[in-house]
């Protein structure tokens, strides 16, 4: 199994969407690339932690490829927005792709270059090496499964449609 970390606004919607895809084996939500150890949600919301709300995604490459994951990710976020997705505003809501595997990050950069022409503005999604990932509090895990009418900036029905 391969893993990748995706940030695209509130992590509830990103997790809810990717949990519906065949080949996505396991997910969790947390805080990536924080400049403080084990930040809380409150710490992250201050904007001082440097952390991004992030989905940790494990996938089976025999069932879903990296290109499909990235294509689907870019179909549910606005990659040209800076520190904003939907109604979520702040540095913790920036879009980003993180991994420890530098080859995987290079493939992500190549993908981003290929799709840039689809957008009128420059893509702002950062692609960086993962320096740390701290699991978010329990109430954030699978939030939309527990709270089906909870806030979500992602149209989850898109997971059921081909790209």
- The two tokens of residue 72 are 């689907």
Query: Per-residue confidence at 151, pLDDT binned at 50, 70, 90?
Result: confident
Query: Per-residue confidence at 68, pLDDT binned at 50, 70, 90?
Result: very high
pLDDT of residue 150: 87
Q: What single-letter DSSP state applies at residue 163?
A: -
Q: How far apart are CA 117 and CA 122, in angstroms?
A: 9
Q: How do residues 131-149 score in pLDDT, each as one tens digit? A: 999 999 999 999 999 998 8
- Domain residue spans in the chain? 2-150
pLDDT of residue 97: 98
Active site residues: 10
What percent of the chain stands above pLDDT 70?
A: 100
Whether the Cβ atoms of residue 60 and residue 105 lie closer than 8 Å to each other: no
- The two tokens of residue 140 are 């954030």
- Looking up tokens 């509830």 gives 12
Q: What angle do CA 155, 107, 77 make, to 5 degrees?
A: 20
Under CATH, what is the fold of the domain 2-150?
3.30.1060
Query: Per-residue confidence at 163, pLDDT binned at 50, 70, 90?
Result: confident
What percent of the chain stands above pLDDT 90?
A: 92
Phi, psi torsion values for 123, nearest 5 degrees: -70, 130
Give how far Cα 152 sits from Cα of 17, 88, 143, Å: 10, 10, 10
């Amino acid at each position: 199994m391969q893993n990748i970390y995706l940030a695209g606004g509130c992590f509830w919607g990103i997790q809810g969407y990717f949990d519906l895809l065949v080949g996505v084996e396991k997910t969790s939500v947390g805080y990536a690339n924080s400049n403080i150890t084990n930040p809380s949600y409150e710490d992250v919301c201050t904007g001082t932690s440097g952390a991004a709300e992030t989905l940790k995604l494990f996938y089976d490459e025999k069932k879903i490829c990296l290109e499909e994951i990235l294509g689907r990710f870019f179909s549910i976020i606005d990659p040209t927005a800076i520190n904003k997705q939907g109604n979520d505003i702040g540095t913790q809501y920036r879009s980003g792709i993180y991994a420890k595997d530098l080859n995987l990050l290079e493939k992500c950069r190549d993908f981003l270059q290929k799709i840039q022409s689809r957008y009128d503005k420059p893509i702002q999604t950062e692609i960086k090496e993962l320096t740390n990932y701290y699991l978010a509090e329990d109430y954030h895990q699978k939030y939309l499964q527990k709270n089906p009418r909870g806030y979500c900036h992602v149209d989850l029905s898109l997971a059921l449609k081909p790209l």
